[in-house]
Structure 1
C-alpha cells in the first residue's frame, strides 16, 4: 500500500475510461446485470433484505475479476496486438461463487453489512422511542394516516437540537464503515486477504490518501451534474466508470499497475515483455 498525491484522484477516472472504452458494452452489461440481480433478490418477500447484502460482495467480486481480465488482456496486447481480440465471458461475474478461497470472508462481509444497517436502525428507533415517550403518537399506528402525515409528525423530533448529536454520530460511523469497506471486496477477491485485514487495509488506504479521494469525489460529482441527459440515464452510464475507477484506484494504491501517462504504460509494457521473454 502506498500514499499517492491528490492529482491521482483525477487520474483514476481517466485511466478507468481508457481501460473500459474498448469493452464498454461488456463492463456496462456486467455492472447493470449485477444491480438487476441485486434488485430482484431484494424484492423476495421476507428474506430479500438479507439475501441481497449477502449476494452483493460475491457479484461485486465477479465484476472485479472481469476488470482484472480486461487489464490482463490490455497489458498483453501491448506486445501481442491480437490479444485484444480475446473474448471475455459474462460467466466470470459468477466465478467467485465457485471459488472457495474468498467465500468465508465475503459471507462475513455480507453479514457485517446487515448488522451495520440494523445497528443504525436500532439507534434511530431507540432515539425516537425515547423522544416520543409521554407524547401522543397514535398517528404513527393509525391505519388511516398516510406516510406523508407520519413524516410530518416525526420531523420536529428528528430535527431538534438533541437529534443533531445523533445524526453526527451516524455520519461519523457511516464514514468509518465506508472507509473500511471501500476496497474490502477487491482485497479479498484479488489479493486473498482475510476480512479483518481487508477492513484494516481499506480504512488505512482511504485515510492516507484522503486528498486523492477528495479530488476523485469532486470530479465524479461534476461529471454527474454535467452529463447532458436524464438523471437516471447519466447514472447508468457513469456506473461502469465509477466501478472501474475503484478498481484502478485499488491497483494504484497497492502498486499492482501504474496509473498515469503513456510513459508509465510503456514502462509496464517493457516489463511485461521482459518477463515473457524470460519465461520463453
Structure 2
C-alpha cells in the first residue's frame, strides 16, 4: 500500500492521481462527451468503497442537521462549513484514487488543513447567495403587494407569475456561482490557491467546458429524478457519485491525460 498521507495533498500526489505530471493552472477544454465520463468515473470511485461513501454521506447530513439547530447562526454556519467539508471530501477522493482507501475521517480533513481558506470560500459563497436572493425577494415582494391591492383572481395570477420570474432569476444567477465554486475546494486543498483565485479559476475552467457541463447537468437531472422515486433513497448512492464526479472532472480538466 502506498505511504501517501491522505490528509496531506502535495501537488505531485494530485498529479499522480490524475495520471499526469503537469498541472494545467487554467484548466483545459475537453471533449463534450467527457460530461458522461465524469459521472462514470464517479461511479467507479463509489464502487470501490460503497459502504464508506454512504456512511460518510449520512454523517455529513447528521452534522448539517445538528449545526442547523444552533439558534440564530445555524443556517449561516452550515453554508460556511459546507466548503470545508467539500475540501475534505475531495481529499478523500484523491486518497481513494491514489491509495485505494477512503476513510470517514476524510470528511473532516478540511478542518486540519487549508481551513481558513475554505472558511473564507464559504463566506464568499454565502455573500454570493445573499446577492442572488435579494432581487428575487424584491420581485416576489412586488408581486405580493400587487396581489393584496387587487384582492382577486387576477392579483393572485400576477403573484404566481412574479414568483416564477423570481425563481428563473435565482436559477440564472446561481449558475455562475456554482461554476465559481465547483472546483474551488479542490484547487485550495490540492494547490494552495487563495479563495478568490480558486473561484476565478473554477469559473473559467467551467466556462471552457460549458458543453460537457451541459451534458453532465442533463444526465444528473435524469438520474436525480430516478433517485427520488424510491422515497429519495437513491440519493444515498447518487450524492456520493456526484461528489466523486466533481473530483473526476477536476482531474480531467486540470491535468493532461
TM-score, scaled relative to structure 1 = 0.72
Task: Confirm whether residue 7 of structure 1 aligns to residue 33 of structure 2.
Answer: yes
Give the alignment partner of residue 105 of structure 1, picking from 110, 114, 117.
117
C-alpha spacing 1:153/1:117, structure 2 compared with 1 (3 Å): farther
Distance 1:135 1:25, change over 3 A: closer
SS at match of 2:30: coil
Aligned pairs for 1:1-80 (under 5 A) are: 1-74=27-100
Listed as ranges, the matches of 1:256-267 within 5 Å are: 258=257
Q: How many residue pairs are counted as aligned between the two chains? A: 228
Q: How far apart, CA to CA, are the structure 1 residues paired with 2:164 and 2:91? A: 43
Q: Distance in 2 between matches of 1:193 and 1:112?
A: 15
Please, which moves more after superposition, 168-177 or 120-129?
120-129
Give the distance between the partners of 1:40 and 1:155, measured in 2 at CA. Answer: 39
Partner of 1:251: 251
Shift of the 235–228 alpha-carbon distance from structure 1 to 2, 3 Å rule, reads closer
SS in 1 for 2:193: coil
Counterparts of 2:88 and 2:141, CA distance in 1: 42
Larger radius of gyration: 1
Shift of 1:113: 2.3
User: Is the aligned partner of 1:90 residue 2:104?
Assistant: yes
| Cα distance change, pair 109–228 in 1 and its aligned pair in 2 (3 A) | closer
- Shift, 1:43, TM fit: 2.4
Change (3 A) 1:123 1:217: closer
User: How far has the Cα of 1:176 moved from its partner?
Assistant: 1.2
Instruction: Report deviation, 1:45.
Output: 1.9
Deviates more, 1:213-222 or 1:247-256: 213-222
Q: Distance in 2 between matches of 1:218 and 1:131?
A: 31
Deviation by residue 1:124-168 (Cα, 9 ceiling, x = unmatched): 33344455668757x9xxxxxxxxxxxx976623515x984x555
Distance 1:130 1:16 in 2: 43
Offset of residue 47 of structure 1: 1.2
Answer whether contact 2:120 2:195 (CA < 8 A) is retained: yes
List alignment gaps of at least 5 residues for structure 1: 75-86, 140-151, 259-280
Greater CA deviation, 207-216 or 242-251? Answer: 207-216
Take 2:54 and 2:181, find their aligned partners in 1: how far apart are those partners? 23
